[in-house]
A and B are shown apart, each in its own frame.
Chain A
């Protein structure tokens, strides 16, 4: 007797390989992951990250399926297998797709493709209880202000060049750290209160960070301390981000602001967003730290929503990956 839907989700868009089991009523049951860490001073090498994913895939999936005490083999209890179809790094995406495909072929379970960005948002809604929020999606892959309207998550504003995650990572790498560097930047910034001028670029509802990065690198080359640069970088980039979020909040009149993605973990940014949202009487809901970075749960949960709404691939041969796949092109039948 099946009482509720269960979905296994597999995430592998970038540095994280993760698998998660979710159920309709209980939400996230398991969330196993293994993160590829590049050498100090460098970023993700797609092929090396994919190699890492291949090595850990079986163990991570097994962990996601066995941590929970389930009758018989856990995979039998699963109704569908969701995987991150994109957007992301090709070699990494393919490892997740192959894993999902293999499980689907071996068990005969249907495959559900999930957009990674939509995954961040829907998991954020589940975990924070947000219903129809304005969403700030900030990670290494995205910097977007998004709201749901007429069947899709629509982009109200976004970066025209670098993402917030890339900006932080690139300055961190410039200083010799390995990506992701967000936490190290935050720690360094906390040690300074000396503001060095950096370009402040808002274009309508969109932001641009390439000028900030170039200027910050120049400051470091000119002998400025890493702490001062990090402080100034955070103050500038986060104020820019908060400003465009405030514009969207004022425009939509949303009552909730949901913050998702890896950079949601930054406390200075949350603080700025909370101060801002207070002025508009909106509440800020930040995805719990444990789920702010990439994880299988975002794929499993969104896969469950999609599967419940009748979505799945007709055959395994359709289980391609899409390196480029904007979230505003993804139908969201579960929200209609």
Chain B
């Protein structure tokens, strides 16, 4: 098997599952973490992730198909999605305004569908979105939570914003605007406004933020 990605909490390999190109996601023991704490967190997160992927599909958001789950090994085997990470896509030279807007809107609509279904992804960085032409899928639900709280929705949006200004500053404004347009197309204007208002409130709560 080929190592695709050494993430913070899991190693992701490309392999084969009954003839299908697939991804093996293994939460390896983290040597810095106390073993008993480590085992608990790894198996909990593995089961949880599988459950969330299922719910995500129910909500109509594209995510990889699940092939196999083993909590004791902290292993999930799932479909290998063709495409590139949104992070790579946004760093592309010659990226057009139209492309940024289209990606933003599609991403926003997916996030809104998740939020509508009470799923907070919890790790919406541009590394966790796979783009294949016009289709967009979400991956890595390891930190997702179930919630219907506005606060949690805003925290989800805040991470997107944080990642954008941190790693894609040149396109961050345009992308975020389109993302909110896409979000609003699913959840409606008033709920989108409520979420962005909450987002601003969370930012003001940040340590040493200037209250404006």
Task: Judge whether A23 is part of the interface by a CB distance below 8 angstroms.
Answer: no
Interface SS of chain A: helix, strand, loop or mixed?
mixed
Q: Are A275 and B7 touching (Cβ within 8 A)?
A: no
Interchain CB contact (< 8 A) of A235 among B7, B37, B155: B37
How far, in angstroms, from A44 to B41 measured CA to CA in the complex?
36
Q: Are A329 and B8 touching (Cβ within 8 A)?
A: no
For B208, list chain A residues within 8 Å (CB). Answer: 86-87, 323-327
Which B113-171 residues have C-beta < 8 A from chain A? Answer: 122-125, 127, 143, 155-156, 159, 162, 165-167, 169-170
Q: Are A243 and B8 touching (Cβ within 8 A)?
A: yes
**Which residue of chain B has the shortest Cβ distance to A234 in the bound complex?**
B34
Question: Could you say which interface size class chain B belongs to?
Answer: 20 to 34
Which B20-43 residues have C-beta < 8 A from chain A? Answer: 30-34, 36-37, 41
For A247, list chain B residues within 8 Å (CB). Answer: 7-9
Q: Are B169 and A142 touching (Cβ within 8 A)?
A: no
For A86, list chain B residues within 8 Å (CB). Answer: 208
How far, in angstroms, from A252 to B163 measured CA to CA in the complex?
11
For B30, list chain A residues within 8 Å (CB). Answer: 239, 243, 276
Task: Judge whether B6 is part of the interface by a CB distance below 8 angstroms.
Answer: yes
Task: Judge whether A217 is part of the interface by a CB distance below 8 angstroms.
Answer: no
For A205, list chain B residues within 8 Å (CB). Answer: 123, 125, 159, 162
A327, chain B: closest CB distance, angstroms = 8
B128, chain A: closest CB distance, angstroms = 10
How far, in angstroms, from A66 to B63 measured CA to CA in the complex?
66
Interchain CB contact (< 8 A) of B8 among A141, A239, A246, A275: A246
Q: Are A204 and B122 touching (Cβ within 8 A)?
A: yes
Q: Are B34 and A235 touching (Cβ within 8 A)?
A: yes
Query: Chain A 150-180, CB within 8 Å of chain B: the 1/0 string?
Result: 1000111111100100000000000000000
Task: Judge whether B2 is part of the interface by a CB distance below 8 angstroms.
Answer: no
Q: Are B6 and A250 touching (Cβ within 8 A)?
A: yes
B75, chain A: closest CB distance, angstroms = 19
A190, chain B: closest CB distance, angstroms = 14
Interchain CB contact (< 8 A) of B32 among A160, A195, A276: A276
How far, in angstroms, from A200 to B208 measured CA to CA in the complex?
25
For A250, list chain B residues within 8 Å (CB). Answer: 6-8
Q: Are A163 and B143 touching (Cβ within 8 A)?
A: no
For B34, list chain A residues within 8 Å (CB). Answer: 195, 235, 239
B157, chain A: closest CB distance, angstroms = 11
For A220, list chain B residues within 8 Å (CB). Answer: none
How far, in angstroms, from A216 to B127 measured CA to CA in the complex?
35
Q: Are B206 and A195 touching (Cβ within 8 A)?
A: no
Task: Judge whether B97 is part of the interface by a CB distance below 8 angstroms.
Answer: no
Interchain Cβ contacts under 8 Å between A and B, 15 examples: A87-B207, A141-B207, A149-B167, A150-B170, A155-B162, A202-B143, A204-B155, A204-B159, A205-B159, A242-B32, A250-B8, A251-B167, A276-B32, A326-B209, A327-B208
